[in-house]
Structure 1
Amino acid sequence: MVDWDYKRNDGISNWETFQTQACSYPSDPVDRPVGPSRPAFSITEFRSLALKPAKIVTQPGRHTLKGAYTNVYAEVSDQGFSPRLAGKVISVRAHPSSFAWNYGDGTTKTFTIQGGPLRPDQAELDSETRTSHVYTATGDYHISVSTTYTGEYSVDGGPWVPIIGTAQVNSPAVPISVWRTETHLYAENCLENPNGAGCPGTAGK
């Protein structure tokens, strides 16, 4: 079985690219396509589609702690399109296949999974996940991600054909603030001395 790519002139000024499949035998000329033609959906056309950027989600929200695991994941799903090409109805499916993260602190990571929310049995603070990140310094950062899509297309309900190449879509960066924690030990009995160090009566003092 041979895949053919060739161009046809419409007699005016436009050239259209087509693909076809046919059996090849030793007696067949190798430069002549055989069988019905179908329009080819190129990577350039795939990249021109309105592919959605992933939504960035962070747990525990827009604030986290230095030295703790911060869960970061992307919300995105497969997308479908129905463009027309050379008078044919084209069905296109786009699949998010990898995610390149930039955590804003000089760290970048790429995953083939988008991650997900913490399980009910996991604490929002300092629960490690496959896509989590640990900040080693306090400060304000911006997290961004670039989603890579692969695709396939079908012509008039025919077989699905892979699109050669990928498309990248950048998501708007989201801010996150990294704080530190402090631990203090007190020996006061707040029932006996409400104004003792660490007691509610000294809050804000």
Structure 2
Amino acid sequence: MGKQHYLFLAACLATAALLPDPPASATTPEQCSGTALELGCPNVGGSIEGDSALLNGDLTLVGAPGGSAGGSGGSAPGGGNGAGSPLPPMPCEEVFAGLCYGEGQDKPGDGTVSPSIPPLTLSDVAAFRPQAPRQSMQPDGWMVVGLPTNIYARTGTHIVSGTLLGLPADVRFTPVGYRWRYGDSSAARLTTPGATWQALGLREFDATPTSHTYRAAGTYVIELDVEFAAEYRFAGGAWQGLTGVLVVPANDLVAVAGSAVTVLVDRDCATAPHGPGC
């Protein structure tokens, strides 16, 4: 290692010695800008000649007499015109080790200062509203007592963009659970949204993964809440998951259940044995 490199290393160590103890975890960009950024981050540069070094015109370290150093904004004692060869920039993380990084947080490795952001919770993304889910049923608005009624949800994974902690961010919502209350004192939590009979390749009144069978005539209100898992990312970065789920209500369905003989059909069971109620 040459004399210039030794001097530069000494300058860096002296600079670090003059700094206050770094915070254990800086949580905002402002906190970082008040420490590392004003003290030469992301790069420490300057020039060197002889046995003296000048860092960014702010701090002069003098070695053996007779040398000289220079850089913008200052000069070193000992003679000379202040001209020197440029020093290669030193990454901030090598000079100000541990400053502006939370414990266990990866350093970017590109010489920049990355503020530490504490783990977020669902309450932090409350301003990001998922799209309201919808539910539908077959038949539409009525049921046959004793036969499956196909009830299904219409929703899916989607992304909502906005600002989070003052930074551009995206939140991705993924439906993971469906809580149905059928209005007849029964309920179910399912992990599939269901689909139409046609999409499932089934006949009318066939059972489906989300169907429900009513046992008594009456008018029923069918309610649905959808559980969404949430993830967030800043400026197109990697997705970070959040613990818990966000529960969002869907529209209510009001339907009438009747016996087979009260259901309107286009032909009788003798002609159409597979018709409703037959």
TM-score for the superposition, normalised by structure 1: 0.69
Deviations 1:11-47, CA, capped at 9 Å, x for gaps: 8xxxxxxxxxxxxxxxx9xx95353235454311334
> Do structure 1's residue 101 and structure 2's residue 101 form an aligned pair?
no
Q: Which residue of 1 aligns with 2:157?
A: 78
Q: 1:62 aligns with which of 137, 141, 148?
A: 141
Higher normalized helix content (fraction of residues) = 2
If asked which structure has higher relative contact order (CA below 8 Å, sep 6+), I would say 1
Equivalent residues of 2:177, 2:226 under 8 A apart: yes
Match of 2:123 in 1: 44
Between Structure 1 and Structure 2, how many residues are aligned? Answer: 161
CA contact (8 A) 1:47 1:167 kept: no
Partner-residue secondary structure (3-state), 1:104: coil
Bigger strand fraction: 1
Contact 2:26–2:115 (Cα < 8 Å) also in 1: no
Q: Where does the alignment leave 5 or more consecutive residues of structure 1 unmatched?
A: 12-27, 184-205
In structure 1, distance between residues paired with 2:127 and 2:169: 14
The equivalent position to 1:169 in structure 2, one of 238, 248, 257, is 248
1:123-142 equivalent positions in 2, closer than 5 A: 123-124=203-204, 126-142=205-221
Report whether the alignment pairs 1:113 with 2:180: no
Q: Distance in 1 between matches of 2:26 and 2:191?
A: 35
User: Are 1:178 and 2:257 matched, yes or no?
Assistant: yes
Contact kept in structure 2, 1:38 and 1:155, CA below 8 Å: no
Structure 1 residues 6 and 146: alpha-carbon distance in aligned structure 2, compared to 1, 3 A threshold:
farther
**TM-score after normalising by structure 2:** 0.52
Farther-moved stretch of structure 1 (147-156 vs 79-88)? 79-88
For 1:116-144, what per-residue CA distance to the aligned partner results, in whole angstroms no more than 9, with x for missing partners? 111275332x2100110000000000001
1:135-176 deviation per Cα after TM superposition (whole angstroms, max 9, x unaligned): 000000000100000011111221111012211001231101
Whole-Å Cα distance in 1 between the matches of residues 195 and 249 of structure 2? Answer: 19
Q: C-alpha distance in 2, partners of 1:5/1:165? A: 26
Evaluate the alpha carbon distance shift between residue 32 and residue 72 of structure 1 in structure 2; reply closer, same or farther with a 3 A threshold: closer
Query: What is the percentage of aligned positions where both structures have the same residue?
Result: 23
Considering only CA atoms, is the larger Rg found in Structure 1 or Structure 2?
2
1:25 aligned residue:
none
Whole-Å Cα distance in 2 between the matches of residues 148 and 5 of structure 1?
Answer: 34
1:160 matched to 2:239: yes
Distance 1:151 1:38, change over 3 A: farther
Output the aligned Cα RMSD.
2.7
Instruction: Tell me, in whole angstroms, the C-alpha distance in 2 between the residues paired with 1:82 and 1:38.
Output: 22
The answer (yes or no) to whether the contact 2:179–2:226 under 8 Å persists in 1 is yes
* Cα distance in 1 between the residues matched to 2:206 and 2:120: 44
- Structure 2: how far apart are the matches of 1:116 and 1:156? 35
Structure 2 stretches of 5 or more lacking a match? 1-23, 32-97, 108-113, 263-278
Q: Distance in 2 between matches of 1:77 and 1:71?
A: 19
